[in-house]
Amino acid sequence: MFYPTGTISTINGDATVSGEGTLWEVARISGGILFIDGEFPVALASVTSDTSAELVTPWSGTTLTDVPYYILLMTAQAANVLFSHQLLAELSAGLYAKTLFRPDAFGTLAGRAAFNSAAKDFIYAVLPTVEGGQLTYYFKLSATSADWSVGATN
């Protein structure tokens, strides 16, 4: 169900949405997803009056004045759950595709020594061999020579 009554105004960087003729408390709006044409949908955290609501995060779009909108009626908690599920799906896909860590270089464990002087956060991947083994990531812990993390496997 959608709620489109009145118009709204937003300010970039502010979590407060101001309404004109919105009657959010009268309609018992308690949360949902706010849609504005041409803007990214955002979750409503709460309604504080008939003409004022708070977003879960500050408005990152352009400052808007008296624009039409609609609210997909659902609670802000449900919206956060949907966002969390989407984020989890993206992270899972990255793990599955082995793309969360993009190594700066790869090769054998012995070949890692060529990068001992690399900068902090440099990532070296040791590739599995025909004889076995696992893809293993090593991270430079500092700019100190040979200061590598223990190997991390997936």
Regarding whether 77 and 111 lie in a shared domain, the answer is no
**In this structure, what CATH number is given to the domain that contains residue 36?**
2.40.30
Regarding whether 29 and 81 lie in a shared domain, the answer is yes
Per-residue model confidence as pLDDT tens digits over 80-91: 655 665 666 666
Which range (40-54, 87-101, 121-135) has the least confidence?
Answer: 87-101
Q: What is the pLDDT of residue 108?
A: 86
Q: Which residue range(s) make up the domain with 125?
A: 105-153
Domain boundary among 69, 96, 123: 96
Regarding whether 6 and 37 lie in a shared domain, the answer is yes
Residues 6+ apart with CB under 8 A from 66: 7, 8, 9, 20
Regarding whether 78 and 23 lie in a shared domain, the answer is yes
* CA separation, residue 51 to residues 34, 62, 99, 101 (Å): 14, 20, 45, 46
* Structural domain total, the chain: 2
Q: In what order do the strands lie in the sheet with 7-10?
A: 2-3, 70-73, 32-35, 42-49, 52-55, 16-20, 7-10, 64-67
